[in-house]
Structure 1
């Protein structure tokens, strides 16, 4: 098959140099369905990226697409700020019925703006407003977004440098496994909190990802998360879980913190909450924390009604029976884990390790440049995978939760070949 060279001249001449994913995948995509994307020449690519976790139900999911098309055809409201609309009411009722109520979660729902970073900014602002304190504790290798508040609680030095101003009022603590078992979990943190001479101002909140996606697919143990929640409660510190990439079923349960048996004070949700890749985010918090004054935090695009429509359709389609969705995700995860174990065994001198939960997995190499080479070769073979980790040393797998077992196996065979064909 002859592959035509893509014409990227328009992007190179007119678009900013800040673009990144298109450099790793140099083609011009035209359409997508399910777990496959197609470029303008008709070549298919199996997608193990899923819009960086924004497409848990696949591209152009037919059920969600039908709901959206019907809504637009009847001239449903598209832009509503925070006005009351039928679409918003339906989403809120559905979210309460299928997500919050079954899990006993006592949350108010806030629509802070269309992106995950908007949700993080709202969470940080609310925590500071409620407690009257400024400091927030975050963790090594965390990633929470690219706006200033979110960058302040992000660990990556390259991303932080883009702020151009000091990123303050944050203290960083070691994430699970960061010290390799050399110290007891949270011993340093608790000592600082207990010692009035430590120099650590009592924090307003702790913000944590249960699985650090951009940080290298670092998985926190349920016991570590449970201990963190207990520490926060004991010291009067609010616990924020950033579930932007790992929520909406990515790790199995709807929320990634469910396996730890904790109830965070504040939760941020975005990416796949709309189900269709439409911009939407939520900031969830205990009702007693709802101390906002009307209009105190707002945004022009916080009322994306088409996203409410597709989000409602996604919840009704996939979360009416949460057990079935969880089983499907965990079964897919077992296929991935088995394949990564085989790759690691075959290339034991080159692979540093593999790790994950549900349908988020990472394959780490000793050679920090190897993951990028594997990703490039996988692209040439028709598979989209990205890299993560502070040095880009991890191949990160984020297939749609709706991917079939055959598609999963196909992608894993391509990945195995890409690893074998790179050095």
Structure 2
């Protein structure tokens, strides 16, 4: 992910060195798969220039670029596809969960025509072929994506959440805010506090989960249709939970 080496090594230098080293023991990969914002990995946000650099690296070495938009697509970061602001064109995009329109089981794999070698019905899985999900997904796209109103509303709500999370983080040491749009997280330097905060929030009526390799991030992926008043209420609960754990 972006800044994996903490700024000590330029992005992609290590990866490309392995690709170019014929004695390095690494066969050239067929593809690279990436989340523009790591969900379970801890709400790690990739810079747009980093994503553009990854696309160029893949093109230089003949590797397909796959964007996993299962969690971050369908408007989670604002635009329908999370990679749109980066100006990249993935070879393959995966979508699921929110694409079902109303919590119904559905998954899509979008493939550039030049790479699509599947016969009709050949690429299948457990989230395929649910007729009600197809109807709900179509209706959701027609309702929410006819223009940019929904995207702008999501970004505005994201700013509301960001202001509240920044205020919470400013009250305590060792906290930082991450995310884009309505994919947000509070990262704790003391990793065990992430779980404690989520438990305290749950005890107060707010459901959250942790993310990151050490569960060090209290993660927020609220429904995109959450109202401003509901966000205000939820963020107050979260603030109380953080204060109770960190004070």
Tell me the TM-score normalized by structure 1: 0.57
The corresponding residue for 2:154 is 329
Residue 194 (structure 1) shift? 1.8
Q: Which has the larger radius of gyration?
A: 1
Q: 1:410 to 1:300 in 2, by over 3 A?
A: closer
Secondary structure of residue in 2 paired with 1:384: coil
Q: 1:377 to 1:224 in 2, by over 3 A?
A: same
The corresponding residue for 1:274 is 100
The corresponding residue for 2:70 is 244
Q: 1:406 to 1:206 in 2, by over 3 A?
A: same
Residue 195 (structure 1) shift? 2.1
* Cα separation, 2, equivalents of 1:350 and 1:247: 30
Write out aligned runs for 1:134-213 (5 A): 175-213=1-39
The corresponding residue for 2:211 is 388
Residue 331 (structure 1) shift? 0.5
* Cα separation, 2, equivalents of 1:247 and 1:178: 23
Q: 1:335 to 1:290 in 2, by over 3 A?
A: same
The corresponding residue for 1:343 is 168
Unpaired runs of at least 5, structure 1: 1-174
Write out aligned runs for 1:60-139 (5 A): none
Residue 294 (structure 1) shift? 5.2
Asked if the contact 2:182–2:221 (Cα under 8 Å) also holds between the matched residues in 1, the reply is: yes
- Match 1:397 to one of 217, 220, 224: 220
The corresponding residue for 1:306 is 132
* Cα separation, 2, equivalents of 1:316 and 1:293: 28
Unpaired runs of at least 5, structure 2: none
- Match 1:216 to one of 10, 33, 42: 42
* Cα separation, 2, equivalents of 1:188 and 1:177: 12
Q: 1:410 to 1:181 in 2, by over 3 A?
A: same
Residue 293 (structure 1) shift? 4.0
Secondary structure of residue in 1 paired with 2:245: coil
* Cα separation, 2, equivalents of 1:361 and 1:345: 16
- Match 1:262 to one of 67, 88, 91: 88
Residue 298 (structure 1) shift? 3.3
- Name whichever of 294-303 and 240-249 sits farther off: 294-303
Tell me the TM-score normalized by structure 2: 0.96
Q: 1:294 to 1:400 in 2, by over 3 A?
A: closer
* Cα separation, 2, equivalents of 1:238 and 1:250: 24
Residue 250 (structure 1) shift? 0.1
Pairs aligned (count): 246
The corresponding residue for 1:361 is 184
Secondary structure of residue in 2 paired with 1:311: helix
Q: Deviations over 1:305-339 (max 9, x none)?
A: 00001001100110001x11111011011111111
Secondary structure of residue in 2 paired with 1:415: helix
* Cα separation, 2, equivalents of 1:301 and 1:416: 37
Residue 292 (structure 1) shift? 2.0
The structure showing larger relative contact order (alpha-carbon pairs under 8 Å, at least 6 residues apart) is 1
Alpha-carbon RMSD across the aligned residues, in angstroms, is: 1.3
* Cα separation, 1, equivalents of 2:92 and 2:174: 40
- Match 2:61 to one of 221, 235, 247: 235
* Cα separation, 2, equivalents of 1:195 and 1:388: 35
- Match 2:200 to one of 377, 380, 385: 377
Asked if the contact 2:201–2:207 (Cα under 8 Å) also holds between the matched residues in 1, the reply is: yes
Runs (4+) of structure 1 moved beyond 3 Å? 293-301
Residue 301 (structure 1) shift? 5.7
Residue 355 (structure 1) shift? 0.7
* Cα separation, 2, equivalents of 1:256 and 1:303: 25
* Cα separation, 2, equivalents of 1:269 and 1:398: 16
